[in-house]
A and B are shown apart, each in its own frame.
Chain A
Amino acid sequence: MSAAAPKNDLYFDCRDSFAATIEALAEADPRIVTVVSDSVGSSKLGGFREKFPERMVNVGIAEQTLVAVGAGLANGGKVPFVSAASCFLTARALEQVKADIVYSNVNVKLIGQSSGVAYGELGPTHHSIEDLAWLRVLNDLVLIVPADPWQTEQAIRAAAAMDGPVFVRVSRMPVPALERAEARFEIGKAETLVEGTDAAIIANGTMVHRAVAAATTLAAEGLSVRVVNMATVNPLDEAAILDAAGTGAIVTVEEHSVRGGLGGAVAEVVTANDPVPMRIMGFPGFLPTGSASWLMERFGLTEAGIAEAVRQTVARKK
């Protein structure tokens, strides 16, 4: 078992980590408030509401006001955490995110819950596989996609500690706690979970533990594959990407569309600097009906699918 394999068979919902962290932060910092759009339960903020009923603003089912009220609360000296399902928070309120939060440069933290295909069978209206694409062009918005409970806590703490707009993409898909040689989180810094020299997998969020498992499989075949957890999509760790390009082959994996997300971000850096064969793994577009795990199987976002993509990309090396 590699150093970065899951510690045990326990799987976690990162929303629990978000909720525990925001409660702890709010105890220490009276400026912290939460803003929801009838999204208390789906954000796991019931505990926060019990402890700090006066510090939660529920605007009802109204995402434009949800985000704008966050901007207003920041103007009044609060540190608002605006939390709702990522599909609605980012798409319905995109202009508020652009104008009221990012262009106005206010200290608001946006928490996109149940991102990716977590709402599997509910269909493409409820999937959030476009959020990174339409947020990534807002270059002053920090984007973090944590991979496990520990990193979710670190991301929320880092968001609270910095002055400026941040989006944290939280999943409800169960993930294991990753094992790390050095547990350190810094916005804009990728972490290498598995060292390797023949190829590199760059992943984030729910795909990271699958990438680690794929690297383990490939190691048994004699392929030395690096796994880079690129939790921050903006600002991007370009040095880590160029190092990865040094292996001669890159596979990116994300629970997101193949257009405009992590893969696109990595490709922009690779093509401008040191072109190597690449494969971008993710979802092609609107998806058929199916559970989240079925969709991941169907589109190859599994240990076996990632391993096969690496083999094919290594075969294209010059």
Chain B
Amino acid sequence: MVYEARQGHPGGDFSAADILATLYFGVLRHDPETPDDPGRDRFVMSKGHCTGAFYAVLAAAGYFPEADLKTYMEPLSMLNGHPNRNYLPGVETNTGPLGHGLPVAVGIAIAGQMDKADYRTFVLTGDGELQEGSNWEAALTAGHRGLENLTLIVDRNRLQQGARTEDTASLDPLDDKWRAFGWHVEMVDGHDPAQLLAVLSAPARGRGKPLCVIANTYKGKGVSFMHDNVVWHHGVPNKEQYEQAMAELVR
């Protein structure tokens, strides 16, 4: 998709891919035939720039034909560079600017709490994105209200657009920060579906706290020349690189 569109954010797509696949094929209670079902689990894609991975998973899950992926970012495509709920079923809120997903997800979780509904709300953020203060406003409210129906997954690839997070505005100790805000924290290997599945599908009821899953990942996972390489935040492979990447990913 990124190769054909000649733009995109492949590094973050690959760090999030295993998380997204685990959610859509192992955790979320959802039905692409009824994307507006009030009882559905909600997934909010806060790192909205990683539509390469998000759209691929939505298509594989049946929200729209996989053939449409070829239109990624083309004029008038429903596959905008950042997701738009008015174009595409399965998108809960329009993201793109960072630090928007978690506060909206907190609102969804409050609605569920008010209604004593049993749906859960999941939100995926990048890690550099946590430098946005809006996340910490929302974290306070989620902790205060004990939103046990809310799960945040942090794609902790340790790289932001220009450099390492810890060389830019450090986030560590990230787990302690969430605990201090009243959250329950789990740390997993974000490329191990079994670990992800175990923490994401554990019963939420009775925990009394929102859950933060810090998923340790690598930007560009699966492609040797992209692996943990900041250049690939929004790089586009040439033909040779594309062919090498596809060959490595198949393995």
A residues adjacent to B (C-beta < 8 A): 33, 54-55, 57, 59-60, 62, 64-65, 68-78, 80, 95-96, 99-100, 103-106
Contact = CB atoms under 8 A, between A and B. Distances in A.
Given A62-B140, A71-B104, A75-B92, A104 B110 contact: no
Contacts of A69: 103-104, 106-107, 110, 138, 141
A60 B141 contact: yes
B100 A96 contact: yes
A54 B144 CA distance: 15
Interface string B20-50: 0000000000000000001000100000000
Contacts of A70: 107
Nearest to B48: A99
Contacts of A77: 38, 111, 115
The residue among B86, B94, B115 with the most chain A CB atoms within 10 A of its own CB is: B94
A76 B140 contact: no
A76 B138 contact: no
A69 B108 CA distance: 7
B134 interface: yes
B97 A72 contact: no
Interface string B86-120: 10000011111101100111111111101101000
Contact of A104 (B85, B108, B109, B137): B85
Nearest to B93: A104
B141 A99 contact: no
Nearest to B113: A76
Contacts of B138: 62, 65, 68-69
Given A69-B138, A99-B97, 15 more contacts: A33-B114, A62-B141, A64-B99, A68-B100, A68-B106, A68-B138, A69-B104, A72-B105, A72-B108, A74-B107, A76-B108, A76-B114, A78-B114, A99-B94, A100-B104
Contacts of A57: 110
A68 B107 contact: yes
A310 B12 CA distance: 60
A239 B49 CA distance: 42
B20 to A, nearest CB: 20
Contact of B103 (A65, A76, A78): A65
Contact of A100 (B94, B110, B144): B94
Contact of B95 (A59, A62, A99): A99
A60 to B, nearest CB: 7
A76 B111 contact: yes
Interface residues of B, number: 33
Contact of A76 (B96, B97, B99, B107): B107
B103 A72 contact: yes
Nearest to B38: A77
The residue among B103, B107, B140 with the most chain A CB atoms within 10 A of its own CB is: B107
Contact of B115 (A64, A65, A76, A105): A76
B111 A65 contact: no
B21 to A, nearest CB: 24
Nearest to A71: B104
B209 to A, nearest CB: 18
A104 B82 CA distance: 12
B133 to A, nearest CB: 8
Interface string B118-151: 0000000000000001100110110010000000
A65 B94 contact: no
A65 B134 contact: yes
A103 B114 CA distance: 26
A33 B115 CA distance: 12
B147 to A, nearest CB: 11
7 A-B pairs closest in CB distance: A72-B107, A76-B111, A68-B103, A69-B107, A62-B137, A72-B108, A64-B134
A72 B138 CA distance: 12
A33 B108 CA distance: 13
B76 to A, nearest CB: 17
A289 B102 CA distance: 39
Given A68-B138, A72-B104, A78 B94 contact: no
A62 B142 CA distance: 13
Given A75-B93, A96-B103, A99-B96, A64 B108 contact: no
Contacts of A33: 114
B107 A105 contact: no
A75 B134 contact: no
A98 to B, nearest CB: 8
Contacts of A71: 93, 104, 107
A40 to B, nearest CB: 16
B141 to A, nearest CB: 5
A75 B108 contact: yes
Given A60-B141, A99-B97, A75 B104 contact: yes
15 contacts: A33-B114, A62-B137, A64-B134, A65-B141, A68-B107, A69-B107, A69-B141, A72-B104, A72-B105, A74-B107, A76-B111, A76-B114, A77-B111, A77-B115, A78-B114
